[in-house]
Amino acid sequence: MSSMRTSPGRRTGPTPTGPAPTGPAPGTTRRELLCIGGLSLLGLSLPQLAALRAAAGAEARARGSRSCVLLFLFGGPSQIDLWDMKPSAPVEVRGEFRPIATRVPGIQVCEHLPRLAEQMDKLCLVRSMTHGMNVHGPACSEIFSGREYFGAPTTDQATEQDWPSLSAMTMRYGRWSDGLPPSVVLPWYLQFPGQARRIAGQTGGRMGEQHNALLIQGDSARQAFQVDGFHLREAVPVERLDARRRLLRHLQAGRSSAAIATADAEQYERYRQQAWSLLERQTGTLLDLDREPAAVRERYGPSMVGQSLLMARRLVEAGVSLVTVNWEDETKIDGVNTCWDTHQENFPKLKNLLCPIFDQAFPAFIEDLHERGLLESTLVVAVGEFGRTPYLGQFSQSSNTRKTGRDHWPSAFTALLAGGGVRGGQVYGATDHHAAQVADQPVRPSDLSATILHHLGIDPAQSYTGELQQLRYRLSDGKPITALG
């Protein structure tokens, strides 16, 4: 990538399905299983223990206080209707919406995003995202992992051959902070209704399922969050758990030093302490949004997306490195027009559902981070798996597309970036007159993944050994986009 900077409002010239594992992590030894018995006093499940085991390895080390929040716009938002509008194009291309001015002269966005327009001085529109995959699952995998999909686009579901997600890479190579894991996903792992496994690209894949990020589940009815296996039962208050902890210490003290002075025992003692620390945070204030002032919660909006971004801000404040927020709205159970997927009635869905949610939650999040002094150290990325076809009713992949909708389009789409050293008030890259092809500064998913890893202090070029064939792979083959600063 060129180091050429972009003037405000002008383009530059060329220059992350299935249920969590229920058995021991691969490679778990008999000695480790015995150690798990001590950890089970905390009531933790094997998947949680496997995550602790993975993330607390020798690779994890302190990397400063930089964080990233990835808002994944599942379904694929329309670049040409939202943030890469072409008002001079024919009506069958430009559609029904009009562009409006933003706080930055020369940059326009959709008329249904007025709050976003007010925050444009803090945002960078990367209008030159591109790849070649037009099926949801494999395309999600390319964004989440930064790698080209490994096989034919015949399934949307995760497999053990998947490339590891950014969340899994960060779980393995990121830093623990005061008992909190390096990588968190909320409020759900993406999964199509009727399918048995998560959508591709959200797991540890060939790196190993034990590196999956911690899921903080959201309850949209109660606007609340919890971690499975870490919530206390009424019959087991924290005082009783503490008594169990003291009993375990007493039992360990009675054993001979030779029996416990092993590397494995010491390692699992560290895991147990981390699990306990996380449990203490869970039962305290961190996941309790009721502790936020009502005005703050209202500012983010009543949607699950809004409350998830508020939770992401709290997690960033607490020191979590990577928070992945997966878009969730009432259409997540629609197998045809799920979330930002708009094969039918593109404009009513954007105007009446998606834009109102996004335009309240996302600008509020950016402004909140800015006001709290967190934006400079927190890289914020909002992106979907692809964009939408430039022509209304154009067929590219799905026979469900109607004249009122737009089909999948990976050739050119937009990512929104803010914070983390990214200079606001700029546009990076450009598309042609129909927002169909990238004209300047193409950015591939590998470049975006390398940018995120680099910001978090994780070397994108470092390698790991895959579990299936014991081959060595780099975390990312991309290059950080240094010209954004």
Residue-wise pLDDT tens digits, 324-371: 999 999 999 998 999 999 999 999 999 999 999 999 999 999 999 999
User: For residue 376, which of 81, 75, 66 has the smallest C-alpha distance?
Assistant: 66
Tokens 């959200």, located at residue:
202
Domains of the chain from N-terminus onward: 66-232+289-484 (3.40.720.10)
Q: Within a 10 A sphere around the Cβ of 207, how many other Cβ atoms?
A: 25
| Residue 408 burial by Cβ neighbours in a 10 Å radius (0-12, 13-18, 19+) | buried
Residue 372's pLDDT is 97
Q: Residues, the chain, total?
A: 485
Q: Find tokens 């203490």 and name the residue.
A: 280
Question: What are the tens digits of pLDDT across the range 89-141?
Answer: 999 999 999 999 999 999 999 999 999 999 999 999 999 999 999 999 999 99
Phi and psi at 239, nearest 5°, equal -65, -40
What count of Cα atoms within 13 Å lies in the side-chain half-sphere of residue 333? 1
Per-residue pLDDT of the chain (485 residues; tens, 9 = 90+): 333 334 344 434 333 333 333 344 444 443 344 444 444 444 445 455 444 444 433 333 334 589 999 999 999 999 999 999 999 999 999 999 999 999 999 999 999 999 999 999 999 999 999 999 999 999 999 999 999 999 999 999 999 999 999 999 999 999 988 778 999 999 999 999 989 999 999 999 999 999 999 999 999 888 899 887 666 666 666 567 667 767 776 776 665 554 545 555 655 565 566 666 666 655 457 888 999 999 999 999 999 999 999 999 999 999 999 999 999 999 999 989 999 999 999 999 999 999 999 999 999 999 999 999 999 999 999 999 999 999 999 999 999 999 999 999 999 999 999 999 999 999 999 999 999 999 999 999 999 999 999 999 999 999 999 998 899 999 999 999 999 99
CA gap 172, 182 in Å, rounded: 8
Do 199 and 157 meet the contact criterion of CB atoms below 8 Å apart?
yes
Q: What is the dihedral of CA 322, 382, 454, 374, to 10 degrees?
A: -60
Tell me what pLDDT residue 428 has.
98
Q: Please, what's the b/e burial string for 99-132 (b: 16 or more CB within 10 A of its CB; e: otherwise)?
A: beebbbeebbbbebbebbbebbbbbbbbbbbbbe
Question: Is residue 161 a contact partner of residue 468, using CB atoms and an 8 Å limit?
Answer: yes
Vertex 316, ends 310 and 317: CA angle to 5°?
Answer: 95
Cα separation, 442 vs 444, in Å, equals 7
C-alpha closest to that of 83 among 50, 44, 123, 36:
123
Give the list of residues 6+ apart from residue 3 with CB closer than 8 angstroms, or none. Answer: 15, 482, 483
Burial bucket for residue 46 (CB in 10 Å: 0-12, 13-18, 19+):
buried
Is the pTM here over 0.85, yes or no? no
What pLDDT does 13 receive?
37
CA distance 384 to 406: 15
Residue 15: is it exposed, middle or buried by C-beta count within 10 angstroms (0-12/13-18/19+)? exposed
Q: Where are the beta strands (DSSP E) in 92-194?
A: 99-101, 108-110, 123-129, 183-186
Query: Residue 106 and residue 35: Cα distance in Å, rounded?
Result: 61
Q: Residue 89: phi, psi to the nearest 5?
A: -75, 165
At residue 116, φ and ψ (nearest 5 deg) are: -60, -40
Q: Is 411 helix (H, G, I), strand (E, B) or coil?
A: coil
Provide the CB-side half-sphere exposure for 209 (13 A, CA).
22
What's 401's DSSP letter?
-
Torsion of CA 66, 55, 151, 19, to 10 degrees: -110
